[in-house]
Structures are given as structure tokens and as C-alpha cells.
Amino acid sequence: MTPRSRKATLLKWLPSHWLITRVEEAGDTVYLTFDDGPDPAWTPTLLDLLRTHDAKATFFLVGKLAEASPALVQRIVDEGHRLGNHSWHHRQFHLRSIQEQLDEIERTDQLLQQFDGKIRHDFRPPRGLLGWQMLTALVRKRTRVAYWSYDSLDHRDEDASAIINFFKQHPLPSGDI
């Protein structure tokens, strides 16, 4: 297993105003992102941990989950983190029509705007699945796609020690997302 997906390696050649996969001039910094929330069971603990280490992150939120936990979304913003768009439903997003996908992104952006005042948010496609038609539609709407350059593979069903060992074997270079 490698923390670098082939897709992220190829997509890094697109201009960063359309798609971001890493931050080139980041100094000595990595960018933390979290997907699929907010989750009332896990997000508060994660926010506490980030606060303890004076770290900031971007949370790519699922619209329907954000709508169900507005206080948690507000806490994310109040503590200085950024919001990102991860669709409205998430489930089988890539199987929907382009228009349905765009509608989900718009609906989520409208909800997130109530918390941070931003009209558009970087979009991370669920499961990283994004076809060229959808990418083209997002470019037309001036919505930047935010991928990742490093995948911790934490979505696998492994304990914390396995994830920590993975990071030790594959250290994060500066600028990675």
C-alpha cells in the first residue's frame, strides 16, 4: 500500500485554481483534512485534540449531516477551522447525473454559507470519484476540487497502532494534504 494514489499523482498537473492536491510552497507544514462529518460521536473529540495541539484543519462536510448537527458545524467554524463541501448525501454520489451532483453541491454550499459566510467551498468528491465531465462542470461553476496528496488509509478497519505504523513507514512531506 502507498499513501499516493495514481489519480492524485496525475491530477497534480492541473492548475491549482481548479484542483488542489498539495500545497507546493508550504514551508514545514502539512494540511489536515477530515471527510464524512460532522459526526456527533467523533468530531468533538477530534476538535478537542486539534485545540490541544493548536492545529487547524479543513472539514469536508456532508450536507445532510451538517444540517442535523448545526451546533457542531458552528463549533468547527468558531474554532478557526475551514469548511469544505463533501456533497449532500454522499452515498452513491458518483452514480447520480451530473445535474444531480451539481444540485447536491449547491445545496451543501448554501447550508455551509450560513456558518462561514462563503458562497463557494472547495469540493471533495465522495470516495474521490470524479469524472472529467463533472470536473469540467465544476470548473465552469468556479468550484475548486480539493483532493489529497497523502492517503492515510485510515478508512480501512485497522486499529490506531496500524495507522501510526503506516505514518512511520511513509512520512508526510511538507505541503501534503
Q: What is the b/e burial string over 124-136, where b = at least 16 CB atoms within 10 angstroms of the residue's CB?
A: bbbebebeeebbe
pLDDT at 12 over 60: no
pLDDT at 171 over 80: yes
Q: Name the pLDDT band for 33 (thresholds 50, 70, 90).
A: very high
**Residues designated catalytic:** 35, 170
Q: What nine digits make up the cell of 168? A: 512511520
Mean pLDDT of the chain: 87
Judge whether 98 and 132 are in contact, CB under 8 Å: no
- Residue 119's SS3 state is coil
Q: What is the pTM of this model?
A: 0.87
Instruction: Give Cβ neighbours of residue 84 (< 8 Å, ≥ 6 apart).
Output: 33, 58, 59, 60, 61, 121, 122, 123, 124, 146
Which whole number is the average pLDDT over 37-62? 97
